[in-house]
Structure 1
Amino acid sequence: MTTPTEVLKDALDFDSIADVFVTESISASPAELHGQLCGYLASGVSLPLEQWLAMVVEFCDIEAWKDTASREAIVTLYNATLTLLQNGEYAFEPSIADDDSELSVRGMTLSQWAHGFLAGYGLSGKKDNLSDDVKQVLQDFANISAMQSEMKDLEDNNDNEADLTELIEYVRLSAMMLYSEHHEVNPDVDHTKSNPLH
């Protein structure tokens, strides 16, 4: 049986968001878009759904959605991300290429996600009184973001896979840590109910 958490995690599936981008003829990176959302939320600044949708349209350089299902997928991505960050189950995951993809693709999308996270954090305007932990994470994310060319050449082998898996886990936990610095955990929260699709 599928748990509510698994349903939320499905909404963060990279391929699903990539399909939306194909449908909408968007050339931007789905991983970067999700990173931007997470960076903004982790900065402690609230981001209402309508403001997020406006940011997406700008990020993707589109005037309007061709398909209502595309907009719904983006709304679901927002709701699921917010719920997973807030519910204290530590089930949140960055939306990057999955384990079936080549290591180079997974690495590239992780770099893009980190780049988006930094952009989102910057867009939120949160700059002052950053703790040393936060500064360290942002610096680490900047380093990961700068690794796109190395990631592109990543060969499939066990050592590289272990290193990349460790890096993905670090990014996942760091994003949750930054979010929890500003937000109380709420196990009962479910933003899919408070932000319906229509």
Structure 2
Amino acid sequence: MTATGPIGHDDIDALIMRLRLGTEASELHGSLCGYLAGGATPQGGNVLAALQLDGEATAPSADDLSLLQRLTRQCESELSDAELGFEPLLPADDRPLTERAEAVVDWCRGFLGGFGLAGTAAHASLSEEAQEILRDLGTIAASSFDFDNEDEDEDALIEVQEFIRVGVLLLYTECNRHDPAASGSVH
């Protein structure tokens, strides 16, 4: 990782290990994205407090706090990207399929937790489509995967990831629009 390059899954994983947060990298990223998609921002930039994450008696260093602030800015930028370039942060494609599928489940679990922590009034007025996306993310978060055919399973995982990506963008758009008359549709 460079000080200016994008923060990756391994960078978050190393941070979690240093701080002994008791979560997975994908779950932490999902939590932060859910919190931001729900319309909240960490007050004072304290991501760990906003997401209610505490390390095991390991205080974050200045570098750790800087990394968390960069991660927050990166997530905000990706979620608001006009080119719809947002992607859930998951293990690299060369990792085993089971590991990547488990990370998808962790990411969705984290997203739902972060979205709930955002607790904005916008949640009460979500469109039916957005409410359905939240229910579907809940189904994914409660899933376990069985793999029979690696090629078909790889394709299915890619489809699930794309559903998550587009669904999260719709939720972000609905909860973060500044014009109440704006449409909540993402195409």
Match of 2:85 in 1: 91
Which of 17, 39, 60 matches 1:44? Answer: 39
C-alpha deviation, 1:109, in angstroms? 0.7
AA at the equivalent of 2:84: Y
Match of 2:183 in 1: none
C-alpha deviation, 1:129, in angstroms? 1.7
Match of 2:116 in 1: 122
Question: 1:112-151 counterparts in 2 under 5 A?
Answer: 112-126=106-120, 127-147=123-143, 150-151=144-145
Per-residue CA shift, 1:120-170, capped at 9, x if unaligned? 1111223412210111100010000001xx23x546710000000110111
Alignment of 1:26 onto 2:21: yes
C-alpha deviation, 1:180, in angstroms? 1.5
Q: Against the structure 1 CA distance between its residues 101 and 84, is the aligned structure 2 distance closer, same or farther, given a 3 Å change threshold?
A: same
Relative contact order higher in (CA < 8 Å, ≥ 6 apart): 1
What SS class does the counterpart of residue 100 from structure 1 fall into?
A: coil
AA at the equivalent of 1:100: D
Question: 1:98-117 counterparts in 2 under 5 A?
Answer: 98-117=92-111
AA at the equivalent of 1:73: L
AA at the equivalent of 2:29: H
Which of 51, 59, 65 matches 2:59? Answer: 65
Which of 131, 141, 154 matches 1:161? Answer: 154
AA at the equivalent of 1:178: L
**Structure 1, unaligned stretches of length 5 or more?**
186-198
AA at the equivalent of 2:76: L
Alignment of 1:14 onto 2:9: yes
* TM-score, normalising length: structure 2: 0.81
Identity %: 28
Per-residue CA shift, 1:94-120, capped at 9, x if unaligned? 111120111111111110110111111
**Structure 2, unaligned stretches of length 5 or more?**
179-187
Contact 2:38–2:176 at 8 Å: present in 1 too?
no
C-alpha deviation, 1:72, in angstroms? 2.1
C-alpha deviation, 1:64, in angstroms? 4.8
* TM-score, normalising length: structure 1: 0.77
What SS class does the counterpart of residue 171 from structure 2 fall into?
A: helix
